Amino acid sequence: MNEVVVNDLMQSNYKYFLAEGIGINFHKEFKPQLNPSEMLSLGVFGGKYMTDCTNEFPVSWFENAKFSKNLKDVSINFFKVDASLPLKDWKQKGWIFEEDPRGWFQWYCRYYMGRRIPEEDLRQIKRWKAIKRHKGAIIKNCKKKDLQCRKKQRQALLHWAYDSRLI
């Protein structure tokens, strides 16, 4: 098992192990449509997600990433809308796992790399599945591939590795 040591603005000397190969052996119910590199290149989280922790992941993930130099910039998002709650709200709702202080996308990046934490993985996969409800709302209320319809829900789905451009 490969050990990863994290030192960034939110974690110091956090260590985890890669139990699987990159991008393989996912839980049978977890079938994301986008990988982390694709998400970052499309424009997610206003370009401010993980700008200080690129050393933890493959350089290739960030070659086409859309990052904001300073503050969150929703014009970087694929749908040019804000579809994120502030981190403080995530903490208040109990959605943040201690080992992934940045939230779901950080968990997904580490899971994609091969880290496995069985109980937390199941919790996050359950949350990922619950977000799919937004896909139903888009199907019910929009013409197929009308990317101007329900842009906030479409952007939210992108944040959860669903390719809402296809709906």
What does the block give as tokens for 81?
């809308």
pLDDT of residue 87: 83
Q: What residues contact residue 50 under an 8 Å CB cut-off, 6+ apart?
A: 40, 57, 102, 105, 106, 109
Give the residue carrying structure tokens 């401010």.
48
Instruction: Give the chain's residues under pLDDT 50.
Output: none
pLDDT of residue 126: 97
pTM of the model: 0.95
153 to 4, 45, 78, 82: CA distances (angstroms)? 34, 13, 12, 10
pLDDT of residue 1: 77
DSSP 55-118: GGS-GGGGSS----SSS--GGGSTTSS-----HHHHHHTT--BTTBTT-HHHHHHHHHHTB--H
Domain segments of the chain as ranges: 2-166
Give the residue carrying structure tokens 């779901």.
104
Q: What residues contact residue 20 under an 8 Å CB cut-off, 6+ apart?
A: 114, 116
pLDDT of residue 94: 85
pLDDT of residue 166: 96
